């Protein structure tokens, strides 16, 4: 499959601070690509360079075969962005907002109205069209943000922490819509998120730390490489588990033991069948991967 | 062109929907009206009557026409600038709220956005100042009407030119504002200060000679004097018809800033137009220059 985004040796300084340090990445067309990192890791800087609103110091950025240095305006037609905070005009109606943003891409008149109708069906906001954006709930506003990002039918949708602050149900609904769009239009989704469970479904993940790639790969490979497996045992006492001389932690009613891999878990179970009457074996989470790779938790804590 | 129209429409809609912004722009004219109702009207009237030579009979209509002309010209001179600044604050609030980021990721040219802010400010300010002209003319018709059609056309022309000056000036100053604090500070200074600077609260002729000379370096002073001249043209003409001595009329014109002097040289109406229009051209040039030379925004 062809690469729709290719970044080679990207460098960006803010004064003496190197915000992006020799970053290279490739994103395949139609993929869900997750770009993870704590605040200040360089994610937004890289995205702003891709969108053409920030100059790079060196390196090469090619989007859909076009060089950002030469074809920034063409590239801007192929990218839609859902910003972390809504950037629509809160005092204007949903329709006025979308008509205005459509005009920025040269979409006006019937073409704009038809596109808005299409999106209102897709994202289920036809009853909100005449309402002021400032009066919408968080979930409704997010749907309008997505509609704004899709107004010009972009090939790449950049989601910059799109679900921060949304309730779980609204998050699920939003992801369902985005998944449908990916399948239907083969749209590439470039995601940054603080919710690690959203990154699990990505086709490829890059973890950025201090402007550099700290780890990259498919989610399952990252989990295998950086976290090992976990066996959670229910009904056993902490004393019995301590005798196994393996790292563990007490989790409510269960005790979670960390093992190197599935083979070690299997051997452990066979060796101590009396302990493993009620248990579950799971891979490490993306949170564990992130912690292992960066020594930080998403959200900024060390 | 459609993009420009759409963005201009958006900017105009936002100004009128943002009631806070709309009323802020009217603060100075409202203060002026309150001052006039409470004491300025009386001060103007007494000062005008006191300047009359003994034995000269002045009708109430003429006194009222003069005082109303001073009030209306002050209101218009202030509104053209303060309303333009407040309307153009949208370009700053777009930066503060992050809306300008949303514009920056689109293929639209920066020049299109800048022109849309300029046009929207010009149109919204003209809507408000033309409305003020209309209300002012109705008021003058009630208190003492001495205008002919040319006076009214010239008042509209002056208001248009001064509005263009306010729009061009605010486009440059607002371009460099990036935060809500800066916006509030500039808004307060303009709203509170411009009324004094342009002689709306007190004629410039009553300021100290040093300050008068400094104010003559401000192009807005010439715009204010133009509006004063045409707002008071009718009553001044009537004074001559009623036999007022020429030197008395000239003294009145001096006292209400119809005559202004650059280091003792009296400035003609043509020169006033030249200064204001020349300044507008210069400000537009600076606008184009800063928009052309500015680099991409830094977004961390």
**Average pLDDT score over chain A:** 88
User: 């990252």: which residue's tokens?
Assistant: A222
pLDDT at B170 over 90: yes
- B281 by DSSP, 3-state: which? helix
pLDDT at A302 over 70: no
| A291 has a chain B CB within 8 A of its CB | no
Q: pLDDT tens digits, residue range A246-295?
A: 889 898 888 999 888 888 889 989 998 888 889 998 888 888 888 888 87
pLDDT at B153 over 90: yes
Token pair belonging to B21: 């912004």
User: 């001052």: which residue's tokens?
Assistant: B35
pLDDT band at A93 (very low <50, low <70, confident <90, very high): very high
pLDDT at A164 over 80: no
First to last CA, chain A: 38
Task: Give how far B15 is from chain A: nearest CA, Å.
Answer: 10
Q: Are strands A156-160 and A188-192 parallel, antiparallel or unpaired?
A: parallel
Token pair belonging to A252: 């409510």
C-alpha span between A100 and A106 (Å, rounded): 10
- B145 by DSSP, 3-state: which? coil
As beta bridge partners, residue A67 has A62
Kindly state the DSSP code that residue B166 receives in the 8-state scheme: H
pLDDT of residue A154: 94
Kindly state the DSSP code that residue A42 receives in the 8-state scheme: S
pLDDT at B298 over 90: no
A82 exposure class (CB count in 10 Å sphere: 0-12, 13-18, 19+): buried
Which is nearest to B284 in space by CA: B129, B94, B111? B111
User: 């504002």: which residue's tokens?
Assistant: B177
pLDDT at A117 over 90: yes
pLDDT at A301 over 90: no
pLDDT at A230 over 80: yes
pLDDT of residue B116: 94
Which A-chain residues 68-107 have CB contacts (< 8 A) with chain B? 73-74, 76-77, 79, 81, 83, 85, 87-89, 91-92, 96, 99-101, 103-106
Token pair belonging to B260: 């202004």
- Dihedrals φ, ψ of A130, to 5°? -95, 0
Q: Are A196 and A298 in contact (CB under 8 A)?
A: yes
User: 């629509």: which residue's tokens?
Assistant: A88
HEC string for A201-269:
CCCEEEEEECCEEEEEECHHHHHHHHCCEEEEEECCCHHHHHCCCCCEEEECCEEEEEECCHHHHHHHH
**Average pLDDT score over chain B:** 88
C-alpha span between B195 and B75 (Å, rounded): 9
Higher-pLDDT residue of A42, B154? B154
The residue in chain A having the minimum alpha-carbon distance to the alpha carbon of residue B104 is A53
- Cα torsion at B203, B206, B210, B215 (round to 10°)? 0
Pick left, alpha or beta for residue A114 (phi over 0 → left; psi -120 to 50 → alpha; otherwise beta).
alpha
pLDDT of residue B192: 76
As beta bridge partners, residue A60 has A8
pLDDT of residue B294: 73
* Mean pLDDT of all residues in A59-87: 92
Domains of chain A (ranges; CATH) run 3-222 (3.40.50.300), 228-283 (3.30.70)
C-alpha span between B245 and B252 (Å, rounded): 11
Of A120-124, B103-107, B199-203, which range is least confident? B199-203
Q: Which helix (H) or strand (E) holds A117?
A: helix A109-122
Of A148-162, A193-207, B163-177, which range is least confident? A193-207
- Dihedrals φ, ψ of B227, to 5°? -65, -40
Task: Give how far B106 is from chain A: nearest CA, Å.
Answer: 5
A66 chain-B contacts, CB cut-off 8 A? none
C-alpha span between A161 and A193 (Å, rounded): 4
Task: Give how far A246 is from chain B: nearest CA, Å.
Answer: 44
C-alpha span between B230 and A18 (Å, rounded): 61
C-alpha span between A56 and A67 (Å, rounded): 13
As beta bridge partners, residue A36 has A207
pLDDT of residue B77: 92
- Cα torsion at B76, B81, B82, B88 (round to 10°)? 130
A44/B299 CB distance under 8 A: yes
pLDDT of residue B173: 93
C-alpha span between A275 and A273 (Å, rounded): 5
pLDDT at B300 over 60: no
User: 């009066």: which residue's tokens?
Assistant: A135
Q: pLDDT tens digits, residue range A35-55?
A: 988 878 888 899 999 988 889
Task: Give how far B183 is from chain A: nearest CA, Å.
Answer: 18
Pick from A19, A42, A104 the residue to mutate for testing the B interface (most B CBs within 10 Å). A104
List Cβ neighbours of A163 (8 Å cut-off, separation of 6 or more): A142, A170, A171, A174, A175, A193, A195, A198
| A48 has a chain B CB within 8 A of its CB | yes
- A277 by DSSP, 3-state: which? coil
CA atoms within 13 A on the CB side of B32: 28
Of A79-83, A155-159, B177-181, which range is least confident? B177-181
Give me the DSSP letters along A49-102: HHTTSS--SEEEEEETTEETTT-HHHHHTTEEEE-SS--S-TTSBHHHHHHHHH
Angle at B174 between CA B170 and CA B178, to 5 degrees: 170
């Amino acid at each position: 499959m062809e690469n729709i985004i290719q970044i080679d040796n990207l460098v960006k300084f803010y004064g003496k601070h190197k915000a992006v340090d020799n970053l290279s990445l490739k994103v395949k067309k139609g993929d869900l690509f997750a770009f993870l990192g704590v605040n200040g890791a360089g994610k937004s800087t890289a995205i702003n360079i891709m969108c053409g609103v920030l100059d790079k110091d060196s390196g090469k950025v090619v989007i859909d075969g076009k060089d950002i240095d030469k074809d920034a305006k063409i590239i801007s037609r192929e990218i839609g962005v859902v910003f972390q905070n809504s950037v629509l005009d809160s005092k204007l109606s949903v329709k006025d907002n979308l008509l205005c943003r459509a005009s920025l891409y040269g979409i006006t008149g019937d073409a704009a109205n038809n596109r808005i109708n299409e999106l209102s069906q897709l994202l289920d906001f036809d009853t909100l069209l005449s309402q002021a954006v400032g009066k919408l709930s968080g979930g409704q506003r997010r749907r309008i943000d997505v509609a704004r990002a899709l107004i010009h039918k972009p090939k790449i949708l950049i989601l910059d922490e799109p679900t921060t602050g949304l309730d779980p149900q609204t998050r699920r609904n939003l992801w369902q819509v985005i998944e449908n769009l990916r399948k239907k239009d083969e749209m590439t989704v470039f995601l940054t998120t603080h919710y690690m469970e959203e990154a699990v479904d990505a086709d490829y993940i890059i973890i950025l730390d201090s402007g550099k790639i700290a780890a990259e790969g498919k989610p399952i490979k990252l989990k295998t490489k950086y976290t090992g497996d976990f066996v959670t045992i229910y009904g056993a006492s902490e004393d019995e588990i301590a005798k196994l001389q393996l790292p563990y932690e007490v989790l409510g009613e269960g005790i979670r033991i960390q093992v190197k891999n599935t083979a070690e878990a299997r051997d452990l179970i066979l060796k101590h069948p009396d302990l493993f009457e009620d248990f579950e074996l799971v891979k490490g989470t993306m949170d564990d991967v992130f912690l292992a790779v960066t020594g930080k938790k998403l959200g900024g804590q060390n | 062109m459609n993009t420009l129209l759409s963005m201009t429409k958006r900017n105009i809609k936002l100004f009128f929907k943002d009631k806070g912004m709309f009323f802020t722009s009217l603060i100075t004219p409202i203060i002026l009206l309150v001052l006039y109702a409470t004491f300025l009207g009386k001060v103007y009237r007494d000062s005008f009557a006191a300047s009359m030579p003994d034995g000269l009979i002045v009708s109430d209509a003429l006194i009222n026409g003069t005082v109303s002309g001073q009030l209306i010209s002050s209101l218009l001179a202030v509104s053209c600038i303060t309303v333009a600044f407040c309307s153009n604050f949208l370009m700053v609030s777009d930066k503060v709220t992050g809306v300008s980021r949303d514009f920056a990721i689109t293929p639209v040219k920066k020049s299109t956005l800048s022109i849309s802010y300029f046009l929207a400010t010009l149109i919204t300010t003209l809507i408000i100042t033309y409305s003020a002209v209309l209300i002012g003319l109705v008021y003058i018709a009630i208190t003492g009407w001495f205008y002919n059609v040319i006076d009214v056309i010239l008042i509209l022309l002056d208001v248009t030119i001064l509005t263009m000056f306010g729009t061009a000036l605010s486009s440059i100053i607002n371009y460099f504002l990036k935060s809500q604090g800066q916006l509030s500070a500039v808004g307060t200074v303009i709203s509170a200060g411009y009324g004094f600077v342009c002689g709306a609260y007190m004629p410039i002729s009553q300021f100290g000679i040093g300050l008068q000379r400094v104010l003559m370096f401000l192009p807005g002073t010439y715009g204010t004097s133009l509006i004063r001249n045409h707002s008071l043209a009718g009553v001044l003409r009537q004074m001559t018809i009623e036999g007022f001595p020429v030197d008395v009329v000239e003294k009145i014109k001096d006292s209400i800033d119809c005559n202004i002097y650059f280091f003792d040289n009296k400035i003609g109406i043509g020169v006033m137009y030249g200064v204001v229009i020349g300044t507008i051209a210069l400000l537009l040039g600076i606008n184009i220059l800063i928009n052309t030379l500015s680099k991409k925004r830094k977004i961390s």
